[in-house]
Structure 1
Amino acid sequence: MSDTSMIAEDFADYLADNVGADPYPIFRRMRDEAPVVWAEPLQAWVLTRWDDITAMLEDGESYGPLMNRPGTSSIFGRAILQMSGDEHRRKDAILAKRLRGPRYLGSTIEEIVSGLVSEYGDQLPVAPETADLRTGLTEPVPLGAIAELMDMGAASNFRTWYNDIVAAGTSNFAQDPVVHAKGEAARDELYDFVTPSIAERRTCPGDELLSDLCSMEYEGERLSDDEVRSFTAFLLSAGIETTDRALANLVKHLILQPEQWQRLKDDPSLASSAATEILRFRPPVQAIVRMAKQDMEVCGTMIPAESKLMGFIASANHDPDRFDNPGVFDVGRFEGAERPNYTPIGPVRAFGAGPHTCTGSLLAKLEMERTLEYLVDRFDHFEFAGDVPPDTGIVLRSPETLDVVLHPAEAA
């Protein structure tokens, strides 16, 4: 068996039993010895080096969105991820106005996010009780922010819809029909919930994101109701995943490395750098998918046109050719240089690169920073309520729960 075949087999073993596993040793071997391998369980060519993944993300002539495959497109419909060229630029601009524009980001969104962090943070039980930070803080904050930005109101089923849609749309590599059916059912319930709001915005638009989508025209025609619903389902999941899982990963590693938590207590201004570092060190989105538009050669491997490629940004973010001491978690690594990593030009690939860089990256940045600042201000320290929660997931990776004991800071 060749070295490449052995590495591909070891990678398949990780995919089959990833709960609590450490993927970084196999990523290192792949970068060093087999930077392009065929992963049978994923039905994809896997890339692991920073340069190759960056090329995949930035080269729109050679790589494009993955279309008409099971998973994302069948759950979300034709959302922004499946668009390219002028259509993608113009429709993405509608989202960018609300999610990246200084008018909204610096006032409206800041107020929404800060309010949500305080609302949910103040409800967290403290020592000696146990708090699940995922269900109590890191998930409801971004979920609430998206709901408010779209003026959709509260729905008791939002969390269930979100969890089922994400499971079917991004993580169902085995194409489990039960998982897929639950995702479709959750999507349909969400569509039923939002359809009356779409009808209302058609006749009486407001000053929020849902009205923007309902009023948008492309090639002389407004988005259809189906398109608006697809955008809504996509935003509900994409607008939550990064913040939720990244904060879970961040808290986990601040507990595992208390000296890094103490650095934040001593200098709270490092919150922005710490948020950026966890996106590099343990990115919540481990891989990004593309399709080869043409036959190509990558690192000496021939890849046929229309092949599926997965760039494991978790590996790229640990590439020693791009980052010094990549295996070290350092909350001060990006001090003073955080913002470029939330744009197409930054080295951290947590939000992709090129034309499909995540439009909501600055919203995620704000949510992560305000949440971490709140934790630093309110709590002296925290600890796991039981065993260290294992990371799980292939594309989306974090602890599924985060049960901790929170010790409040003494009043000044």
Structure 2
Amino acid sequence: MPVVNPRFSILSEDFAAAPYRCFAWLREQAPVHYEPAIDSYFLSRYQDVKRVLTDHEAFSTETLQVRAEPVMRGPVLAQMTGAEHTAKRKIVVRGFTGEALQDQIRAVHANAAELMAPFLPQGRVDLVNDFGKPFAVHVTLDVLGLDKKDWQQVAAWHSGVAEFITSIALTPERRRHCLDCAEQLEAYLLPVIEQRRRHPGEDLISKLCTAEFDGIAMSNRDVTALIINVLAAATEPADKTLAFLFKHLIDHPEQMAQVRRDPDLLPAAIAETLRYTPPVQLIPRQAERDAVFAGTTVPAGATVFCMIGAANRDPDAFTAPDTFDIHRPDLGTARSFTAAAQHLAFGTGLHQCVGAAFARAEIETVAAMLLPLLDQVRYSPGFHYRETGLYTRGPASLSLDFTPVHAGCTGRG
């Protein structure tokens, strides 16, 4: 029988308010923490988390059949293995690399400029709600080749999909709402898929529609699942990472000044942001056989949650892990957006995030554009910082004041 600690719960409001202050205690005192309410185990040590994410035979993604497939409307990449996974992953990766990536960078810049323009003369913006959230959806729609005039409706449907995937427990009413969102999103996508089959373009949906696996074109269900997979994976972390980046640089003005003087430091600042405050905090797996961690047996069939935030602050993996330091030598900026990354913000192993290179290009492009525009950036008077989310986590808002930019000055950066 697993040991239950009645005085501590990851599902509590106290933990939700400030999880980072609990991570050291978890790693040292309860590295295999059991939550009886959801019959799940939480791992917080770097080596244990890495073991689970890299041993895909002992720890499968079977949990996603329940946690993701109902709202993805079909199997997602993380559920696939073998030849199917390799082939479909390559199709998606091609949509985020090479010439496609260069086109996307131009779209990122154009979307950022358009969305930020109304706030520049005012000298105030909520980087999460005014800018980050619409920006993330706009860019993802551009990648997919969907009409941006529908962005608010797509964002609402996506919100329901994301809630289903990232909630530890859903009420029957919220579950029905999330499934309704997924069904409406599927109904919206099906005519688009049919149109792209007949008249393919250069967008990612067209590439999915015209691709083959084992000589057979993917079904509408396959394509729909991959579209929603990309929509969730590309949208959910982007606004959080951007807001976290600006928060940490504002909180560390000497590092902000260094990045402003030397833009080549920006990738390091993004990499350290991903390590220090990863937007995806939990990654679930299912134990396929009994496994022992720190003397505790996790039984076959159990759900295991990898605590990315805790692993990324493990002193066995990083020196002074609770310090934000864009110059840290144990991170390795060049490899931080590849399969060789030391941090675990993109996961690792077979199912590492396919969009890591795109995420770097997206955040780097928009941050490089915003830093010169948001001169003397600081928190707005009266602003109170708060983060939300257990599975994915980010600032609820980030109200910033800066030196207003007059018309004709927005071309810098």
Contact residue 139 and residue 244 of structure 1 kept, 8 A = yes
Residue 129 of structure 2 is aligned to residue 132 of structure 1: no
- Where 1:348 maps in the other structure, the secondary structure is coil
How far apart are the structure 2 equivalents of 1:121 and 1:23? Answer: 32
- Give the 5 Å matches for 1:22-101: 22-67=18-63, 70-76=66-72, 77-99=74-96, 101=97
- Where 2:402 maps in the other structure, the secondary structure is strand
Equivalent of 2:372 in 377, 390, 393: 377
- Give the 5 Å matches for 1:204-283: 204-283=199-278
Residue 128 of structure 2 is aligned to residue 110 of structure 1: no
User: Once structures 1 and 2 are overlaid, which stretch shifts more, 143-152 or 379-388?
Assistant: 379-388
Contact residue 23 and residue 44 of structure 2 kept, 8 A = yes
User: 1:143: which partner in 2?
Assistant: 137
How far apart are the structure 2 equivalents of 1:31 and 1:126? Answer: 47
How far apart are the structure 1 equivalents of 2:49 and 2:315? Answer: 14
Residue 180 of structure 2 is aligned to residue 177 of structure 1: no
Deviation at 1:325, TM superposition (A): 0.9
How far apart are the structure 2 equivalents of 1:119 and 1:341? Answer: 30
How far apart are the structure 2 equivalents of 1:18 and 1:368? Answer: 31
Instruction: Give CA deviations for 1:34-69 in whole Å, capped at 9, x if unaligned.
Output: 211212344311111111111111112211103465
How far apart are the structure 2 equivalents of 1:320 and 1:193? Answer: 47
How far apart are the structure 1 equivalents of 2:245 and 2:329? Answer: 15
Residue 160 of structure 2 is aligned to residue 164 of structure 1: yes
Deviation at 1:33, TM superposition (A): 2.2
Which amino acid is the alignment partner of residue 157 of structure 1? Q
User: Once structures 1 and 2 are overlaid, which stretch shifts more, 157-166 or 344-353?
Assistant: 157-166
- Give the 5 Å matches for 1:276-355: 276-333=271-328, 337-355=332-350
Instruction: Give CA deviations for 1:335-377 in whole Å, capped at 9, x if unaligned.
Output: 9932312222111100000010000111111111112112211
Which amino acid is the alignment partner of residue 138 of structure 1? G
User: Once structures 1 and 2 are overlaid, which stretch shifts more, 277-286 or 371-380?
Assistant: 371-380
Structure 2 residues not aligned, in runs of 5+:
none
Which amino acid is the alignment partner of residue 43 of structure 1? D
How far apart are the structure 2 equivalents of 1:187 and 1:396? Answer: 19
Contact residue 19 and residue 390 of structure 1 kept, 8 A = no
Sort the Cα spacing of 1:117 and 1:95 in 2 relative to 1 into closer, same or farther, 3 A: same
How far apart are the structure 2 equivalents of 1:354 and 1:20? Answer: 28
- Give the 5 Å matches for 1:1-16: 5-6=4-5, 9-10=7-8, 12=9, 14-16=10-12
How far apart are the structure 1 equivalents of 2:36 and 2:263? Answer: 45
Sort the Cα spacing of 1:292 and 1:336 in 2 relative to 1 into closer, same or farther, 3 A: closer
State TM-score, norm by structure 1: 0.91
How far apart are the structure 1 equivalents of 2:353 and 2:329? Answer: 20
- Where 1:381 maps in the other structure, the secondary structure is coil
Instruction: Give CA deviations for 1:188-227 in whole Å, capped at 9, x if unaligned.
Output: 2222222111111222222221111112222343221122
How far apart are the structure 1 equivalents of 2:305 and 2:227? Answer: 25
Residue 393 of structure 2 is aligned to residue 397 of structure 1: yes
Sort the Cα spacing of 1:395 and 1:59 in 2 relative to 1 into closer, same or farther, 3 A: same
- Where 1:291 maps in the other structure, the secondary structure is strand
User: Once structures 1 and 2 are overlaid, which stretch shifts more, 195-204 or 214-223?
Assistant: 214-223
Q: How many residues align?
A: 403
Deviation at 1:26, TM superposition (A): 1.8
Residue 175 of structure 2 is aligned to residue 192 of structure 1: no
Sort the Cα spacing of 1:19 and 1:321 in 2 relative to 1 into closer, same or farther, 3 A: closer
Which amino acid is the alignment partner of residue 125 of structure 2? A
Contact residue 19 and residue 391 of structure 1 kept, 8 A = no
Which amino acid is the alignment partner of residue 214 of structure 2? E
State TM-score, norm by structure 2: 0.91
Contact residue 277 and residue 334 of structure 1 kept, 8 A = no
Structure 1 residues not aligned, in runs of 5+:
none
How far apart are the structure 2 equivalents of 1:256 and 1:68? Answer: 37
- Where 1:283 maps in the other structure, the secondary structure is coil
How far apart are the structure 1 equivalents of 2:225 and 2:92? Answer: 13
Which amino acid is the alignment partner of residue 128 of structure 2? R
Deviation at 1:408, TM superposition (A): 4.0
How far apart are the structure 1 equivalents of 2:109 and 2:330? Answer: 22
User: Once structures 1 and 2 are overlaid, which stretch shifts more, 258-267 or 198-207?
Assistant: 258-267
Which amino acid is the alignment partner of residue 320 of structure 1? P
How far apart are the structure 1 equivalents of 2:296 and 2:238? Answer: 35
Contact residue 68 and residue 74 of structure 1 kept, 8 A = no
How far apart are the structure 1 equivalents of 2:397 and 2:79? Answer: 31
